[in-house]
Amino acid sequence: MLPIAQPGETPQQILPAVGPAAPPRARLGWTVARLARSWRSVLDARLAPHGLTQSRWRVLNVVSTTSRPLTQRELADRLAIEAPTLVRLLDRLEADGLVERRPDGQDRRRKVIGLGPKAAPATDAIAREIAAVRADLLGGLTDDQIAQALLVLDAVQGAAEHLRAAIPRPEPEDRP
C-alpha cells in the first residue's frame, strides 16, 4: 500500500524514486538497467582472461549469431553505438584477424561484416561464457517465470520502440 501524503507533502517527498521501497512502476526501468549492467559486468569479468573487452565481445557475439551478414550500419544499430565508433573498433578487430569486411552481394558500395580467420577461439569462449552466465543467473527460475518476465519486458520494449519511432529526426544540414 502506498503512503498517504500529509498536507503540504508532494509525492516526491513520500515516495522514493528508486530502490526497493519505490513503487513497482518507478522501479522497473531502474531495475532493468541495473540488471543489464550487472549481466554485462559478469560477462566482462569472465571474458577478460580471453583478452576480450566488452566492446570486442559484443561485436563478435552479434556477428557470430546473426543469420546473415550485417552491414556496418546494421551492426552499429544492433550494438547501439555510433558508426564512427564501430569503424575504429572494426579496424582493430580486422587487424587482429577476428572480423573481415566483405563487399555486400546486393550492393557493392556497402560492406558486410563477417568473422575473420582467427575468430573461432574467441567466439567459442564467448558462447561458452554467455551460456554459463545465463545458467548461473537464471538457474533458480522456472521456465514459466522467465516466460512471464519476457511477456512484460517485450510489452515495455514494444512501447519504447513506438515512442522512439515518434521522435522527430533532425534534418541533415545542407552543406555548400
Domain ranges of the chain: 39-158
The confidence score (pLDDT) of residue 14 equals: 55
pLDDT of residue 140: 97
Residue of 88, 92, 90 whose CA lies nearest to 112: 90
Q: What was the pLDDT predicted at 170?
A: 78
* DSSP bridge pairs for 114: 100
Q: Please name the residues in contact with 47: beta carbons below 8 A apart, sequence gap of 6 or more.
A: 53, 57, 125, 126, 129
Supply the pLDDT for residue 10.
66
| pLDDT at site 94 | 97
DSSP states of the chain as a string?
-PPPPPTT--HHHHS-SSSTTS-HHHHHHHHHHHHHHHHHHHHHHHHGGGT--HHHHHHHHHHHHSSSPEEHHHHHHHHT--HHHHHHHHHHHHHTTSEEEEE-SS-TTSEEEEE-TT-HHHHHHHHHHHHHHHHHHHTTS-HHHHHHHHHHHHHHHHHHHHHHHTSPPPPPPP--
CA distance 104 to 2: 57
pLDDT of amino acid 131: 97
- Name the class of domain 39-158: mainly alpha
**174, pLDDT greater than 60:** no
CB neighbours of residue 82 within 10 Å: 9
Question: Three-state SS for 66?
Answer: coil
Mean pLDDT in residue range 92-105: 95
Contact between residue 74 and residue 64 where contact means Cβ atoms under 8 Å apart: no
Please write the tens of the pLDDT for every residue from 2-38: 556 567 766 665 556 677 778 888 889 989 999 999 9
